[in-house]
């Protein structure tokens, strides 16, 4: 067997967390590409938030379209009392003010 392959194989066996990290990164890139999203929003998925805690992801090119990272349900969200950008900014500020729950980052 090639020494480089043996060395790489030994590294992977000794560092399984690296494999998990790479798989997670690959899954994230696949999700972003497939659903044409590029950033998370402070909005939680109304379809699965209680069960999975899904976060809605959006993009600058599709202002009103969001996709849940967990359940993959797509939403068109339009706020009629203020701009969606202002609403999201307000929600971000509210999230910063909330005390962190134990066991969460």
The predicted-structure confidence for 47-104, as pLDDT tens digits, reads as follows: 997 787 899 999 988 889 999 999 999 999 988 899 888 988 888 888 777 665 555 4
Note the pTM of the prediction, 2 decimals: 0.70
Quote the tokens at residue 5.
Answer: 């392959």
Residue 20 has pLDDT above 70, yes or no: yes
- Rounded Cα distance between 74 and 37, Å, is 11
| DSSP one-letter string for 12-53 | HHH-HHHHHHHHHHHHHHHHHHHHT--EEEEEEPTTTTTTT-
User: CA nearest 73: which of 104, 51, 105?
Assistant: 51
């Amino acid at each position: 067997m090639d020494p480089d392959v043996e060395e790489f194989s030994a590294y992977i066996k000794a560092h399984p967390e690296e494999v998990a990290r790479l798989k997670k990164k690959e899954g994230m890139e696949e999700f972003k590409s497939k659903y044409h999203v590029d950033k998370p929003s402070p909005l939680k998925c109304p379809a699965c938030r209680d069960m999975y805690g899904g976060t809605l992801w959006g993009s600058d090119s599709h202002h009103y379209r969001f996709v849940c990272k967990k359940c993959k349900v797509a939403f068109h969200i339009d706020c009629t009392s203020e701009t969606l950008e202002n609403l999201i900014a307000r929600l971000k500020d509210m999230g910063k003010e909330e005390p962190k729950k134990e066991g969460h980052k």
